[in-house]
Amino acid sequence: MNLHTHDPREHIRGIHQIFISDKKRIGFLFGAGTSFETGLSTVQIPAIAKMTALIVDELENLSPKIRTALQEIKNEIRSDNFNIESLLSTLESKKEVIGVGTLNGLNATEFVSLVTAVKTQVKTLVSIHDKLLDADIPKLAHCKVASWISKARRAFPAEIYTTNYDYLFEIALEHFGIAYFDAFSGSYEPFFCSEAVEDLKAYSQLVKLWKLHGSLGWKLRKKDDAVVKDKDAAAEDLMIFPSYLKYSNSKKQPYVGLIDRLCAFLQQDDAVLITCGYSFGDRHINERIATSLRRGGNSHVIAMYYDEFRDAKGNVGYGLADPNNNVRKMATHETSGKMSVYGMRHAVIGGRFGEWKLRDEPRADETIKVSQYFDEDAAVPSAATGAHKGDEKWEGTGKCVLPDFLRLAEFLDSLAPAISSDKVASHEA
């Protein structure tokens, strides 16, 4: 049976029309991958495997007792499932049930201290703004997205949803002088304004930035339980950390209000949500997206899904190639054909899984160069009939590069209309 194919040229033209039209409501959902692929090798949040290794190294240096406990816990979890989320989930679980006894040689107080240490390390690793120099800011991939936002003239300003804690999108938007609303109001001690989040007409002309899992500098003010901004907030104050508790915490304010906003966005006519750097690992978000798409009119999700990986033997694989992949199943069975997934080698479009393949060779006069979104495989030697260059046969296969946040940001910026040299100069000065 022949594998179904998707022509990337055809679908990128469709995306191009979405971005240049001022009638569509455009939203973005950005995940951890956008804080890793920043465009600056010195300013990036480590991927989960690296983050886990760094945090465990720090914890093991606390004491031989902690080192032994962590090794026991790692053995309990099993190495193939051991990461920062499974570690923190296990620590949180043990902390809740330990009582007056001991587990892994630690008592309740020591587990509380260990959980706090993990959260503090997470906060330290995501505070990459501390490493960011003024000269680095224009080089951020986030600034390319902000550049498109600043130049595009749209009837409905963009909405940015992110599960990340860091300040990179704030920095990028402010670099371009873009007015935005992030659900907080006030100056002395800005407070979370749930009414403005619920009202789709509130601040209708401002770009929106919604931090679905909280942010650095958020905390709960004890005197009245208001969520406020405080740059000196402790690590455990209000961020949803990567553990099993994030599913119950996400049902509390302000998180439930922000996720409700995402659902309301998707249930509007002509709404398009572009995801990138988001692995669809958050069940509470995925379920709400799928439900909203089924309820919405003609809204759509286009997921730029970085699915390339290496197995234990170093072989390259692609997540979408697996029929049991959760993202593939979500796009084929759970979203009524309203979710497209653009993987590196494969895609699910209109509910159909297939391989990326150009129908004909690129031409020099194309408006959007294929190289901006597709990395073609080299031609292979062949004596068969077909398009040839010498004794080589052009196949048309290759990789879609837009799941890489930096490449998506560059693509977005290339679509924006030209702006005056004075404005460019003012931002680069």
For the chain, the structural domain boundaries read 5-43+133-213+250-360+403-428, 48-128
C-beta separation of 338 from 293 below 8 A:
yes
Read off the pTM: 0.87
Structure tokens, 129: 């703004």
* pLDDT of the residue at 418: 41
Q: Spell out where 172-327 has E strands.
A: 180-181, 184-185, 191-192, 207-211, 218-221, 226-229, 271-276, 300-304, 308-310, 316-318
Long-range Cβ pairs for the range 133-139 (8 Å, 24+): 136/40, 136/42, 136/43, 137/171, 137/172, 137/175, 138/175, 138/427, 138/428, 139/39, 139/40
Pick among 3.40.50.1220, 2.40.160.40, 3.90.1010.10, 3.40.50.11290: CATH of 5-43+133-213+250-360+403-428 = 3.40.50.1220
Walk along the chain (429 residues) in steps of 10 and give the mean pLDDT of each run. 86 91 91 92 87 93 94 87 85 87 92 90 90 93 96 90 94 96 92 89 91 86 84 63 56 82 93 96 91 89 96 92 96 94 97 95 88 89 55 87 97 69 42
DSSP for residue 334: I
Do the bridges between strand 339-342 and strand 300-304 make them parallel or antiparallel, or are there none, so unpaired? parallel
C-beta separation of 402 from 411 below 8 A:
yes
